[in-house]
A and B are shown apart, each in its own frame.
Chain A
Amino acid sequence: MEMFAFSEAAGVEDAIRAGAESGTAQQGARVRFVAGGTTLLDLMKLDVERPLAVVDINGLPLDTVTKLTDGRLKIGALVRNSDLAYHPDVRSNYAVLSQALLSGASAQLRNMATTGGNLLQRTRCMYFRNRALPCNKREPGSGCSAIEGENRSLAILGTSAHCIATNPSDMNVALTALGAVIQIEGTAGKREVPIEAFFFEPGDTPERENVLDPGDLVTSVTLPPPPQNCSQVYLKLRDRASYEFALASAAIVASVDNGTFSYIRVALGGVASKPWRSLEAEEQLYDQPVDEASFRRAADAALAGARPQSRNGFKIELAKRCIVHALGVATAS
């Protein structure tokens, strides 16, 4: 860990001012906001994050869940994962989000972790976390150690020749299936970004993971009104029963009319460089009969573009089974 200056943001504008001093809001940022700290402090101890200034935003008024008049649900960036998971509105109308949150981390971590922090959670790639070894995401141009290394847990979708890191968040997968929108405040004012446009695939700049610029502060996440009569499922597959990131996960939001899919959103976790909405799978399901054959076609379509590495080829079959089973659970009468 390096020496750093610590301050508490007096307000959102104060935080933005402080954040704007950083040359980047991405890897290598000189200024970091800290909320729950469950990712940032961990990475600072590993010297992977070396900010000169840490700005505590826990005092900002961003910790409430509000039902908006148009039916959307607004989740403050500082709402803790456990509070969000057990929020009555989330449990009844956005069950996939509650399930995803509760499948992640441990109770202690969920009590600290925030919505904004989980959204920005960094990869668990072991080479990213080891400062002594090459990693393009941590040290651009140094090379990707994972491609020829220990890559069992890493991505098969949305990767590049420069990075195969997985986005580890469960929450992000559910937010993607729900069509969440991210509210950002920055030096140029406020803007809204749909979650699918928020994250970048690594390409040849894996150090740049999302749309945030210096000074940008995620203030809230909004969820559209829940689709009528839909069922929601989050299924997470992993080696052990608890406290492990997904090897593959699927978030399903589905409505069925007269035996066919009238609404379907499929998002995948644990297999991709970012929370992965599978339009290919959805396309295979719309207006199709609710049966195993449709599920299989959707699963095959979702993984058609997969690029396996030396040790994670099994994730293709695992993710397919995950999709098929989750669709089955979501549509079981």
Chain B
Amino acid sequence: MTVSPAGSSVPRIEGPLKVSGIATYTSDFNFPGLLYAVPVCATIGSGTIAGLDTSVAGSMPGVQAVYHRANIGRIYRSAPDEGLGTHLDERRPPFEDDVIRYYGQYVAAAVADTYEQAIAAANAVKVTYDAKEPDVRDQLEPEGQPNLDGERGDPDAAFDSAPVKIDQTYSTPVETHNPIELHASVAVWDGQDFTLYETTQGVVNHRDVAAEMLGVPKERVRVISRFLGSGFGGKLFPWPHSFIAAAAARDLNRPVKLVVSRDMMFQNVGHRPRTQQRIRLGAGSDGKLVALMHDSLNHTSILDDYQENCSEATPYSYSTPNFRATSGLARRNVGTPTSMRGPGAVPGLYALESAMDELAIALGIDPVELRLRNEPNKDEGLDLPFSSRHLVECLAVGAKRFGWSGRDPRVGSMRKNGLILGWGVAGCSWIAERFAAQVAVDLRDDGSARVATATQDIGTGTYTVLANVVSEKTGIPANKIEVVLGDTNLPPGPISGGSMVTASVIPAVSQAIESAQQRILMAAIETEGTPFYGLEADALAFSGGIVHRKNEGPERGMAFEKILAKAKARSTSGLGKAEATFGSEDRKFSQHSFGAQFAEVTWQPEIARLRVSRVVTVIDAGRIINPKPARNQIEGSVVMGVGMALLEATEYDARFGAPINNNLADYMVATNADAPQIEVTFLDYPDRVLNDMGARGVGEIGLAGIAAAITAAVYHATGVRVRNLPVRLEELLA
């Protein structure tokens, strides 16, 4: 196998493990003496526990314990964090008090020898409640005064006097992440140390939180997440079930496995909150924005303040002298919301880009052209230049590939094979930042390399991308590079969130490789029998795995593994460390990725059948390290976007507070049959402000804008503007 530099489509290096079933996902870990924990979930949405009777459950076959507030043992609160240091979204430890604040809240947990015994015992726990009427209303009103998130100019006056105005409110429903892999914890306690096998997108953060909540030093907790059956943000931060498993393992001195069931996935492990967003656009008759206001609300839980940050992308999307963004929270009897793929920007851009489409129609200007007319030459929110912004080119390339010039803007005017066509477009963007990262790289005497960091591959391709990066920088073929992730014993790596892992690890990998290579040069000059014995290290160079004199080519040099062998060293190890840019106050550039989404829907009014038939996506996300998984991320996002636009919504029963469609039949995600023809283009402009390779991440941007493009297409096909997602066929029946 040859070198696999960045830009080459290396197939997933862990693929064979996954398709053969060898890959160990969290719930695949089993240990001698393993016990199974099954939580008991509240069957009211608000109130208090009046009585909890475990006498029957506790004496059932195989039952080892039934835990609740009185006997779970101490689980501390993790103190509030700054940024995303030691973070969890639902901060109340399980069973902390007798108050029920959302349907499904854990009130007890049965632990037994088998899973079936634990379920039977959990069902036999008798809980009585003093129930109150839960509040799960869809309509949101802010609690207190909304936050002012950004302002420039005088938006009210400019809007009032604008010749053309759009003033609309858009809402997005509760969306549940629904990765195929259920959340799970397998907790092992040896009397001193915890080893926690977790479905987590952040082993280091999970370790730090768990240490605080279990009341032990960090070095007493090891968290492992080798493979993840996806998370979509739902597994970024720890959830209460993890501490039930750990506390049970500590109390029983036996390993405990707890797998969250699919219905609990709708209650106990977060969701994208409901959002309600008022967008006001004022424009001149030339289409230039004179005012933009984005007032957003999202629901949160009774105890936690989860901000969806809907206006994240709004200040820099378009040029406008007058701008304001506000946000507010409305408390509901729901589990705590959390990040879901593209938090903030995804619902926010649905609203903003829908309003831009409405403005284009009001002005009689093509929606692509309207965006071009409002292209900013800097980030007007931060008053900083963009590190690299190519939205205009994304729109131009997308329009060409989609055939946008053939669009007839009249509603219902386009047809193909007897179906009415609708075409829509939207822009998209996502942050391009780095978290702090440390990476170790070993160069070994068999010509192989090992790269290790405590980040994790959540299914996005991090294993493979790291192999690409190391291959490019060392000249070692990807199949000779061992990538080790998902273990807090490794140098601390970033959470898999914000599409930042690739960008974050690259500088640390570079540094680690330089360090490991420098030690090989040292070995070369200090080892008799190498051609370089006795030279100065700075007279040598390292090219494509070959050590050679700087004044000679690598063809007269020696492979690094031979130098290691002559030095009788198995390997040299280098450690690289890179700082975070995320949250930095001191910045010279606005750093974002951009893109354009073009969508085609087909509409058959005679049978009320609406399908997304075609999507063209053009993404400007820096240099693409591995096009194969990168394309896979965008395609997956587009399919998820079909679900967001047309299908997905968690429905809460108003009387019981229960998320009632808590399964994969009644909560509809897009199926394969719903996936449109998808064409993805990457512009591939390196963004060297972010790292030396110019690479950003692509895990989230593909979901931004797609719902707005689809709903714009639905309007074009049907004449119905749906401002409350998802689009239901009953809204199109009239």
Complex Cα distance A323/B660, Å? 30
A-contacting residues, B114-153, CB 8 Å: 116, 119-120, 123
Complex Cα distance A252/B173, Å? 37
A324 at the interface (CB under 8 A from B): yes
Complex Cα distance A242/B123, Å? 34
Query: Does A242 lie within 8 Å of B656, measured CB to CB?
Result: no
Number of interface residues of A (CB under 8 A): 33
A203 CB to closest chain B CB (Å) equals 25
Which residues of chain A are near B674, meaning CB under 8 Å?
Answer: 240-242
Assuming the contacts A126-B660, A237-B608, A241-B674, asked whether A150 and B733 have C-beta atoms less than 8 A apart, the reply is: no
A89 at the interface (CB under 8 A from B): no
B672 at the interface (CB under 8 A from A): yes
A6 at the interface (CB under 8 A from B): no
- Pairs A–B under 8 Å by Cβ, sample size 5: A2-B120, A132-B43, A133-B43, A150-B661, A237-B609
Which residues of chain B are near A17, meaning CB under 8 Å?
Answer: none
Complex Cα distance A244/B673, Å? 11
Which residues of chain A are near B658, meaning CB under 8 Å?
Answer: 130, 132-133
Complex Cα distance A312/B733, Å? 12
Complex Cα distance A86/B708, Å? 41
B728 at the interface (CB under 8 A from A): yes
Which residues of chain A are near B606, meaning CB under 8 Å?
Answer: 321, 324-325
B651 at the interface (CB under 8 A from A): yes
A-contacting residues, B713-734, CB 8 Å: 728-730, 733
Complex Cα distance A253/B60, Å? 56
Complex Cα distance A2/B607, Å? 44
B587 at the interface (CB under 8 A from A): no
Query: Does A150 lie within 8 Å of B651, measured CB to CB?
Result: yes
B679 at the interface (CB under 8 A from A): no
**Interface residue ranges, B against A (CB under 8 Å):** 43, 116, 119-120, 123, 606-609, 611, 646-647, 651, 653-656, 658, 660-661, 663, 665-666, 668, 670-674, 728-730, 733
B35 CB to closest chain A CB (Å) equals 18
Complex Cα distance A148/B647, Å? 22
Query: Does B656 lie within 8 Å of A317, measured CB to CB?
Result: no
Complex Cα distance A239/B608, Å? 9
Complex Cα distance A3/B117, Å? 9
Which residues of chain A are near B671, meaning CB under 8 Å?
Answer: 240-243
Which residues of chain B are near A322, meaning CB under 8 Å?
Answer: 607
Residue of B whose beta carbon sits closest to that of A2: B120
Complex Cα distance A325/B43, Å? 44
Query: Does B119 lie within 8 Å of A317, measured CB to CB?
Result: no
B103 CB to closest chain A CB (Å) equals 9
A71 at the interface (CB under 8 A from B): no
A1 at the interface (CB under 8 A from B): yes
Query: Does B673 lie within 8 Å of A3, measured CB to CB?
Result: no
Which residues of chain B are near A47, meaning CB under 8 Å?
Answer: 123
Query: Does A150 lie within 8 Å of B607, measured CB to CB?
Result: no
Which residues of chain A are near B670, meaning CB under 8 Å?
Answer: 240
Which residues of chain A are near B653, meaning CB under 8 Å?
Answer: 133, 145, 149-150
A62 at the interface (CB under 8 A from B): no
Complex Cα distance A260/B730, Å? 33
Complex Cα distance A178/B1, Å? 62
Interface residue SS majority, chain B:
loop
Other-chain contact of A237, B116, B607, B656 (Cβ < 8 Å): B607
Residue of A whose beta carbon sits closest to that of B665: A124
Complex Cα distance A126/B660, Å? 6
Query: Does A325 lie within 8 Å of B607, measured CB to CB?
Result: yes
Which residues of chain B are near A112, meaning CB under 8 Å?
Answer: none
Which residues of chain B are near A148, meaning CB under 8 Å?
Answer: 655
Complex Cα distance A127/B43, Å? 13
Complex Cα distance A240/B612, Å? 10
Complex Cα distance A2/B660, Å? 23
Complex Cα distance A145/B654, Å? 11
Which residues of chain B are near A243, meaning CB under 8 Å?
Answer: 665, 671, 673
Which residues of chain B are near A240, meaning CB under 8 Å?
Answer: 646-647, 668, 670-671, 673-674
Complex Cα distance A1/B118, Å? 10
A120 at the interface (CB under 8 A from B): no
Residue of B whose beta carbon sits closest to that of A242: B673
Which residues of chain A are near B646, meaning CB under 8 Å?
Answer: 239-240
**Interface residue ranges, A against B (CB under 8 Å):** 1-3, 47, 124, 126-127, 129-130, 132-133, 145, 148-150, 153, 235, 237, 239-245, 247, 314, 317-318, 321-322, 324-325
Which residues of chain A are near B43, meaning CB under 8 Å?
Answer: 132-133
Query: Does B655 lie within 8 Å of A150, measured CB to CB?
Result: no
Residue of A whose beta carbon sits closest to that of B60: A3
A105 CB to closest chain B CB (Å) equals 10
Complex Cα distance A314/B728, Å? 10
Residue of B whose beta carbon sits closest to that of A3: B120
Other-chain contact of B647, A3, A153, A239, A314 (Cβ < 8 Å): A239
Residue of A whose beta carbon sits closest to that of B664: A243
Complex Cα distance A241/B609, Å? 9
Query: Does B608 lie within 8 Å of A318, measured CB to CB?
Result: yes
Query: Does A126 lie within 8 Å of B661, measured CB to CB?
Result: yes
Query: Does B672 lie within 8 Å of A242, measured CB to CB?
Result: yes
Of listed B653, B670, B728, residue having the most chain A CB within 10 A: B653
Other-chain contact of B729, A2, A150, A239 (Cβ < 8 Å): A239
Query: Does B608 lie within 8 Å of A130, measured CB to CB?
Result: no
Query: Does B668 lie within 8 Å of A130, measured CB to CB?
Result: no
A102 CB to closest chain B CB (Å) equals 12
Residue of B whose beta carbon sits closest to that of A241: B673
Which residues of chain A are near B607, meaning CB under 8 Å?
Answer: 235, 237, 321-322, 325
Query: Does B668 lie within 8 Å of A124, measured CB to CB?
Result: no
Complex Cα distance A126/B652, Å? 11
Complex Cα distance A322/B671, Å? 23
A292 CB to closest chain B CB (Å) equals 11
Query: Does B116 lie within 8 Å of A130, measured CB to CB?
Result: no
Assuming the contacts A2-B120, A124-B666, asked whether A150 and B611 have C-beta atoms less than 8 A apart, the reply is: no
A52 CB to closest chain B CB (Å) equals 13
B498 CB to closest chain A CB (Å) equals 30
Residue of A whose beta carbon sits closest to that of B607: A325
Complex Cα distance A304/B729, Å? 22
With contacts A242-B674, A243-B671 known, what are 11 further pairs, Cβ within 8 A?
A: A126-B660, A126-B661, A132-B43, A145-B655, A153-B666, A237-B607, A241-B671, A314-B730, A318-B730, A321-B606, A321-B607
Which residues of chain B are near A2, meaning CB under 8 Å?
Answer: 120, 123
Residue of B whose beta carbon sits closest to that of A237: B607
Complex Cα distance A318/B665, Å? 21
Query: Does A239 lie within 8 Å of B728, measured CB to CB?
Result: yes
B214 CB to closest chain A CB (Å) equals 31
Residue of A whose beta carbon sits closest to that of B103: A132
Which residues of chain B are near A324, meaning CB under 8 Å?
Answer: 606
Which residues of chain A are near B609, meaning CB under 8 Å?
Answer: 237
Which residues of chain A are near B647, meaning CB under 8 Å?
Answer: 239-240
Which residues of chain B are near A3, meaning CB under 8 Å?
Answer: 120
Complex Cα distance A237/B611, Å? 12
Residue of B whose beta carbon sits closest to that of A329: B607
Which residues of chain B are near A145, meaning CB under 8 Å?
Answer: 653, 655-656
B644 CB to closest chain A CB (Å) equals 13
Query: Does A244 lie within 8 Å of B660, measured CB to CB?
Result: no
A104 CB to closest chain B CB (Å) equals 12
Assuming the contacts A2-B120, A124-B666, A242-B674, asked whether A314 and B729 have C-beta atoms less than 8 A apart, the reply is: yes
A267 CB to closest chain B CB (Å) equals 17
Query: Does A244 lie within 8 Å of B123, measured CB to CB?
Result: no
Query: Does A150 lie within 8 Å of B660, measured CB to CB?
Result: yes
Residue of A whose beta carbon sits closest to that of B730: A314
Which residues of chain A are near B611, meaning CB under 8 Å?
Answer: 241
A9 CB to closest chain B CB (Å) equals 23
Which residues of chain B are near A153, meaning CB under 8 Å?
Answer: 666
Assuming the contacts A324-B606, A325-B607, asked whether A318 and B660 have C-beta atoms less than 8 A apart, the reply is: no
A251 CB to closest chain B CB (Å) equals 15
Complex Cα distance A130/B728, Å? 25
Which residues of chain A are near B728, meaning CB under 8 Å?
Answer: 239
Complex Cα distance A235/B606, Å? 12
Residue of A whose beta carbon sits closest to that of B115: A1
Residue of B whose beta carbon sits closest to that of A316: B733
The 7 closest A-B CB pairs, nearest first, are A314-B730, A241-B673, A132-B43, A242-B673, A242-B671, A126-B660, A241-B674
